[in-house]
Amino acid sequence: MARLTLSFVTGANERVSPLVEGVVQPEGVELIPTLSDPSETFWRQLNFGEFEISEMSLSSYLIARSRGMDMTAIPVFPSRRFMHAQLSCNTDSGISRPEEISGKRIGVGEYQQTAALWTRGILEHDFGVSQYDVHWFMERTDELSHGGATGFTPPEGISFQRVPPDKSLASMLVANEIDAAAVHRAFQKGSNIIDRSTRIRAREGDWSKIKPLFPDRIAEGKRFFEQHGYIPANHAYVIRGDIHRKHPWLAFNLYKAFIAAKEMARERLAASIPTALVFGQEYLANTRAIFGDDPYPYGIRENRRMIETLIDYSHEQGLTPEKARIEDLFAPSTLEL
């Protein structure tokens, strides 16, 4: 029987690389991979649905599904981080603790993106900062935003402004035109059409005044994990609706392949630490001591609490009109995994 040939778009990371390289192959499927920065991937998929299997923003997926977009997710979460802990502040803002963000100006790449969703939810529920007591500045233009595809409008009662096209989050943070933002992308090599503005004049100004909101990000990550039991995920993978209906077996086979690829990456990890990271092995041991042997669990069972929290945050923040059901979001063959 001929194998099914499907287009597959994903960002690069070691947990997915074996699939991209063809070292791991889903049963009955030949994947034709495209590597793409996630921000561009989501924009392309939400606007044009051009790939049959795609990495997808979890927040945008919830919004897209609530508005009838035709796609189904599998519970594979390739990207996780403590997104609230990536905020940096201008020292002139007077912010020394997360609780002091109330009343301040915070910049986000895109209001509906999962990083912003987690940041708002964690600031509110862990630190008492209401989303309504903050002035939000969004960098992406409507034409290049994910919200342009899903019909995003700022929720009622939110203080919302767009960053001028000749500025960026980085340039505004340095100039003290906003008080806080995650600007870690400003110095990354490479570029993409969606987020190239994060590099506008990023190296100009007095960067000595830019300090992390959480001086010890590892300690904050440990606190969050011990309190909540997970590292927040911001991406999953989706199958285009027409493909899922035609090949209902595909979701399970893909899930198994993603598990195999992640296990291969785990086995490679210790040997792949660059020698320039002198204490790389110690850092790996510390990571495992805090988060266990697998900080990136897949499946519904091990992620139910996280998924439910994300659903709650999306509804609470006015991005989705009703709370979605997990059973409606993920392929039926993966619900018991």
- Domain locations along the chain: 4-80+233-334, 83-228
pLDDT in tens, 36-53: 999 999 999 999 999 999
Q: What is the CATH number of domain 83-228?
A: 3.40.190.10
Which is nearest to 170 in space by CA: 120, 112, 108? 108
pTM listed for this prediction: 0.94
What's the pLDDT tens digit per position in 221-270? 999 999 999 999 999 999 999 999 999 999 999 999 999 999 999 999 99
Cβ-proximal residues to 276 (8 Å cutoff; 6+ apart), any chain: none
- The phi-psi region of residue 51 (left if phi > 0; otherwise alpha if psi is between -120 and 50; otherwise beta) is beta
pLDDT at 116: 97
Q: Is the pLDDT of residue 189 over 50?
A: no
Identify the sign of the CA torsion 215, 219, 221, 226: negative
Burial of 189 (0-12, 13-18, 19+ CB in 10 A): exposed
Mean pLDDT, residues 52-68 taken together: 97
**What DSSP character marks residue 154?**
P
Residues in the chain: 337
C-alpha span between 6 and 1 (Å, rounded): 16
Fold matches, 4-80+233-334 and 83-228: yes
Overall CATH class of domain 4-80+233-334: alpha beta
62-to-55, 80, 239, 284 alpha-carbon distances in Å: 14, 17, 14, 33
